[in-house]
Structure 1
Amino acid sequence: MLLLNCSRKLASLEKLLLKNFPESLKVYGTIFHINRGNPFNLETLVDAWPDFRTVITRPPQQERIDDLDSYTNSYYMFTQDMKGLHEILENTDSVDWTQVLQIQGLQSGLDEVIRSTAATKKVKVETAKRLLYVKEESLIRCLNSEHHATFEKPVQPAKITVCKSGLQHVFQFSSLSPSYAELVNAGWGFGQTEKSLRYIQRCLRLLPSACLLDAAGNPSAVGLMDQSAELRMGYTLPEYRRMGLFMHLLWAFEDSLAQPDLPFYLHMAEGNKLVKGSTEKAGYRYANCGWYQWNCQPLRSVL
């Protein structure tokens, strides 16, 4: 695998990945961030250049922060050659299988490749599958964009008025400070650990986030962006549910970013009808390629 660190080539890679939406969204999102300051200091690997078939983005191999922290040790993969990817994972050091890690991708074919490789590497694998939803308008805008932009903060935070039971509730759009990391962690299905708390704090420091504040200035709905540019960890606090706040949060979050080359996407558990309804009303549509996360743990670390 080739380590791609030339800014010109990385900009070209970002454009080339557009041709493979939505399957390439995870890797595209990491390249998007890499090309705009690389806040998570990620590395990009390709099997060839410029005629690549496989792209892997990974944490920097020279910065081993915590070998037991899968949130830090996160890999993102896209391939047009499953057989070639299998050979890469088996015979190169593209993935450090000695660490506890996670791999994310939007291709069902990755499951067999990752599981087969993990078996030979003596690594335990747990797969999480979710539904992928993408904002159609953002995909079209992204495909038609010919320039790169940087994140812009909203000039005037939006005020949102919602009626429930005959009463009007006013919410203010804002970003989330790292002080709310525990609140986000408590409601995140993939979190609720000390390691996930540190990861959320890092995301809140380095990447865009969003919340709706109630009249008392407390968050009622929250969400943030991860290093793959996915809108994640979003939820509405129990006392504010069934008010459509998540839909309004998505709209306000998108408007605050104003990125012509940023596609908006997220995932949800199958059967979550409440979130599904709000997400579809916000303009997101189901993508049948699926959303996958593989949690990998060396067997010796289990003993």
Structure 2
Amino acid sequence: MRELHSSMGARDREGDFNIHSMFSRDQGSLRRLLDSPGLLDWGLYTLLAGVDLNYLDAVKALMDQHQVPSRTQGVMRVLSLQSPAQLRPHRSPPGCLIQPLRPEHAELVNGNWKYGGDADSYNSVRRYITHLPSLCVVPEDGSAAGSPVSWVLLYPHSALGLLYTLPEYRRRGYARALVSRFSEMLFEEGYPVYCFVEEGNSASCSLFQSMGFGDKESYRSVWFEFNGQMNVC
């Protein structure tokens, strides 16, 4: 088993590739932007995080023009709450503590993350926990020996993410309680409340929609990579 570690100079997922997020009102301007001299290094692995699905053909044509291998990693729904009034009230389930994650929980979170499992992703998770808000559920009955059984973190771009509940603790309202509490915290600090849910993940989509999150059916955000075959999001 590969030993996981973290240090100030340790490599993480974000340090392995270039990430670019963009917004455009039409595919012509998007293509011109991406083809601006010096904007992209066509020889490096790069992730375009947030291409409008409606403009994806223009991006693919640009890849063909530069003769670089590329692929779509995933198509995401962007669900958000526009105001605290949209958040549907929810009571925390009894018998549990809701508290921040601690750095020593990074291995547990990383081991249950779809895009985790190695030392680089571990370092990313540890940095998320150390420098950004997070919440977890710890049962008060001692059944988990004080360890988290459900958690949610915040990505550096302020989206809710890594929401997960251990299988044996599901259907107890833990995920709903965490999202509700976290959303309230973000609104109080003046931050947007949103998340990316992969197309086809009906369970997560239903959870967020039941809490008042909404999205536009006409918009999907595509995570698109070129010059590599890495499983990142």
TM-score bracket relative to the smaller structure: 0.7 to 0.9
Residue 234 of structure 1 corresponds to 163
Does the Cα contact within 8 Å between 1:176 and 1:209 map onto a contact in 2? yes
Residue 62 of structure 2 corresponds to 117
Deviation (angstroms), 1:187 = 2.3
Does the Cα contact within 8 Å between 2:31 and 2:58 map onto a contact in 1? yes
| Secondary structure of residue in 2 paired with 1:160 | coil
Look up the equivalent residue of 1:89 and give its one-letter code: L
Residue 39 of structure 2 corresponds to 94
Q: Rate the CA distance shift 1:182–1:214 in 2: closer, same or farther, 3 A.
A: same
- Name the CA distance, whole Å, in 1 between partners of 2:131 and 2:57: 34
Q: Give deviations 1:245-290, integer Å, cap 9, x for gaps.
A: 1111101112233436322111223343332332222221233212
Gaps of at least 5 residues in structure 1 are 1-64, 142-158, 163-169
1:280 aligns with 2:209: yes
Residue 153 of structure 1 corresponds to none
1:161 aligns with 2:93: yes
Look up the equivalent residue of 2:109 and give its one-letter code: V
Deviation (angstroms), 1:69 = 5.7
| Superposition TM-score, scaled by structure 1 size | 0.61
Gaps of at least 5 residues in structure 2 are 1-9
1:76 aligns with 2:1: no
1:263 aligns with 2:192: yes
| RMSD value, Cα | 3.0
| Secondary structure of residue in 2 paired with 1:252 | helix
Q: 1:290 aligns with which of 217, 220, 227?
A: 220
Residue 112 of structure 2 corresponds to 187
Residue 137 of structure 1 corresponds to 83
Deviation (angstroms), 1:138 = 4.8
Does the Cα contact within 8 Å between 1:133 and 1:267 map onto a contact in 2? yes
- Name the CA distance, whole Å, in 1 between partners of 2:184 and 2:13: 37
Q: Rate the CA distance shift 1:174–1:110 in 2: closer, same or farther, 3 A.
A: farther
Q: Rate the CA distance shift 1:95–1:140 in 2: closer, same or farther, 3 A.
A: farther
- Name the CA distance, whole Å, in 1 between partners of 2:132 and 2:51: 22
- Name the CA distance, whole Å, in 2 between partners of 1:265 and 1:67: 24
Q: Which has the higher strand share?
A: 1
Does the Cα contact within 8 Å between 1:244 and 1:278 map onto a contact in 2? no
Deviation (angstroms), 1:224 = 1.0
Look up the equivalent residue of 2:49 and give its one-letter code: Q
Q: Rate the CA distance shift 1:98–1:276 in 2: closer, same or farther, 3 A.
A: same
| Superposition TM-score, scaled by structure 2 size | 0.77
Deviation (angstroms), 1:243 = 1.6
Does the Cα contact within 8 Å between 2:93 and 2:172 map onto a contact in 1? no
- Name the CA distance, whole Å, in 1 between partners of 2:28 and 2:77: 25
Does the Cα contact within 8 Å between 1:247 and 1:281 map onto a contact in 2? no
Residue 147 of structure 1 corresponds to none
| Secondary structure of residue in 1 paired with 2:44 | coil
Residue 7 of structure 2 corresponds to none
Aligned-residue identity in percent: 23
Q: 1:173 aligns with which of 85, 91, 98?
A: 98
Using CA pairs under 8 Å that are at least 6 residues apart, name the structure with larger relative contact order, 1 or 2.
2
Deviation (angstroms), 1:140 = 8.1
